[in-house]
Structure 1
Amino acid sequence: MSTLHDNSIIIDGLNISKFERSVFEDMRKGGVTAVNCTVSVWEDFQKTVDNIAQMKQQIREYSEILTLVRTTDDILRAKKENKTGIIFGFQNAYAFEDNLGYIEVFKELGVNVVQLCYNTQNLVGTGCYEPDGGLSGYGREVIQEMNRVGILVDLSHVGGKTSSDAIACSKKPVTYSHCCPSGLKEHPRNKTDEQLKEIADANGFVGVTMFAPFLKKGADSTVEDYLEAIEYVVDLIGEDRVGIGTDFTQGYSTEFFDWITHDKGRYRRLTNFGKVVNPEGIRTIGEFPNLTAAMQKAGWSETRIKKVMGENWMRVFGEVWGG
């Protein structure tokens, strides 16, 4: 592992792998300091609580390599103790159901990032795979409550109008935690230059994903192609507003993608990704240092590398979580 990678705070803004010992060990191998782990997509309140209980049990069981993140201080402590900090995140506000009180309950359970919609409409707003009616009245209340308790609003899979409404509504920075630029590849999940500028102008943040279907070369992508997408966004909105959000799905088989790509996990198919293979050079979480090495090879300054690999996420988390 390079000295620069080893000495940096490395934050992955979105990971939805099959969370088990081998994946957590790979996070340590890759030198990942903290990671936003998805604990809810299509699940309701009860099932999401079950997922959180299971994750907490694993954090206890593997306490020599894992720790729960509630604050940015917890991330600094994870770095010091050579552990990976686990941030609980949702990819859908579905688990809030129609109860604003659940938002604070989840915050107290450790949930720190929530994406408003996952691909389709829910009570809050609309996803990116269907006509977008914008943020609902209830959605505005949800954002206000998320601002109050300190949960980061994520808009990665959210439709354009709902995203614009959310950016305008939120009093705290919001994020696209895992997206790619439409400027390199047209895709319903990718964001236009205008959308990327809109979130940056509102003090927001962009995590760039390496999910191959969203990259220019698809399944033939390499770590350099991933770097190209990161550089595109940095050139557009500046090096202070960009970070990493890999969207790793390590350990999952086709059944998982089947579930995730059907509306509410059981109805119509929303999209077909085809062959899903991570870019060569960063196929596994353990290969994370190769991304830092690619940045060095491309002539990035040490300051820029440290910002994009983790320091920028730290600042945004601090602003939203309040510590």
Structure 2
Amino acid sequence: MIIVDAHCDTITAIMEKGEEFYKNTGHIDLVRLKKYDGFVQFFAAFISPAHAKMGALRRAADIIDKLYREIEANKDDILLCGNYNEVISAAERGKVAAVLTIEGGDALEGSLSALRMLYKLGVRALTLTWNYRNQIADGVADACTGGGLTPFGKEVIAEMNGLGMLVDVSHLSEAGFWDVLNISTAPIIASHSNAKKICNHRRNLTDEQLLALKKNGGVTGINLCPDFVLSDGKASIEHVIKHIEHIISLTGEDTLGLGADYDGIDTTPEGLEGVQCINSLLNELLKLNYSETLVSKIAGQNFLRVIKNVLK
């Protein structure tokens, strides 16, 4: 069973803490990933608000450089992958498949040429906004304005479709979400977003959005941030499963995957304290009589389908 986690902030985190990827104090490291038979990890270069207004592209370059250096230091165990065939090859060779992403379109600094150069560096997905407005669109924190994609944002979607990049709508305003659905010619992803019906947080997706994602052929990744799992109280595996159950009952088997948000969250649900616990979640689904086929889809096959269809 190949597992795909569509979002983590591990490289940004270890860079800031002065740690290494092989073994560290965070939620994900190579020692733990190597215990899985096949693991595809999306690594985000996170453009924080502190860097968004000045030096965003340089910040992205610094984080990408850190990932490249960590992969070189551990090249026997991890491989940077740009398409489906490379991902499958890495798994067959017993290596972790790393997919490079950027969280925050601020990194483009309003330039399509920057997008094209980032693609050449290996970036294969772009989370269009973080929570706030940028040159591409409004984020969820600015949703009160009703703003969606800007004219530049529409150009970005078209360019990403042409390059073969995954358009990621997590953190995007709802108006921006609908703009993307109307424009994109390829399936999109919400790399780390849950169901708003279960937890009414601005970062989660409405039922209407989830159904539109199904029609588009896209996938959302279940986020383990406790605030997005449970409105109050201490989140657990059981609360995460409520989101899984709701999304599957609403959209069927093909729209759901994993987007843990490890190393981008301060706390985790009980029983899901790090990447070593992903199997605990999958095994709990099997205990609840989810079929092996369905669990395999949630674990990775749904995201692998989109990777195969979109990445070039």
Q: How high is the TM-score relative to the length of structure 2?
A: 0.89
1:32 Cα deviation after fit: 5.5
Aligned to 2:60: 48
1:203 paired with 2:212, answer: no
Q: Deviation per CA, 1:81-103, whole angstroms, max 9, x where unpaired?
A: 22211111111111111211111
Q: Deviation per CA, 1:163-212, whole angstroms, max 9, x where unpaired?
A: 10011111111111111111111111111111111222222221111211
Alignment of 1:51-90 (within 5 A): 51-90=63-102
Q: Secondary structure at the match of 1:162?
A: helix
**Relative to structure 2, which stretch is displaced further, 231-240 or 121-130?**
231-240
CA distance in 2, matches of 1:301, 1:153: 30
Aligned to 1:37: 43
Aligned to 1:232: 246
Structure 2: 5+ residue runs without aligned partners? Answer: 15-20, 24-28
Q: Secondary structure at the match of 2:5?
A: strand
1:179 paired with 2:193, answer: yes
Tell me if structure 2 keeps the 8 A contact 1:219–1:279.
Answer: no
1:27 Cα deviation after fit: 2.1
Q: Deviation per CA, 1:51-109, whole angstroms, max 9, x where unpaired?
A: 11121010010112211011111221222222211111111111111211111111111
Q: Secondary structure at the match of 2:7?
A: strand
**Relative to structure 2, which stretch is displaced further, 19-28 or 54-63?**
19-28
Q: Secondary structure at the match of 2:217?
A: coil
Aligned to 2:299: 309
Aligned to 1:26: 32
Q: Deviation per CA, 1:93-146, whole angstroms, max 9, x where unpaired?
A: 111112111111111111011011110100111000113311111100010001
Aligned to 2:234: 220
Q: How high is the TM-score relative to the length of structure 1?
A: 0.86
Aligned to 1:285: 275
CA distance in 1, matches of 2:84, 2:67: 20
Q: Which amino acid aligns with 1:38?
A: A
Tell me if structure 1 keeps the 8 A contact 2:37–2:91.
Answer: no
CA distance in 2, matches of 1:129, 1:166: 18
Q: Which amino acid aligns with 2:188?
A: V
Structure 1: 5+ residue runs without aligned partners? Answer: 1-7, 251-256, 258-275
CA distance in 2, matches of 1:212, 1:219: 9
Identical positions, percent: 26
CA distance in 1, matches of 2:38, 2:169: 23
CA distance in 2, matches of 1:36, 1:219: 29
1:150 paired with 2:140, answer: no
**Relative to structure 2, which stretch is displaced further, 82-91 or 13-22?**
13-22
**Relative to structure 2, which stretch is displaced further, 300-309 or 45-54?**
45-54
1:218 Cα deviation after fit: 5.1
Q: Secondary structure at the match of 1:135?
A: coil
Query: CA RMSD, aligned part only?
Result: 1.6
Tell me if structure 2 keeps the 8 A contact 1:28–1:286.
Answer: no
1:47 Cα deviation after fit: 2.1
Relative to structure 1, the CA distance from residue 309 to residue 218 in structure 2 (aligned partners, 3 Å threshold; closer, same or farther) is farther
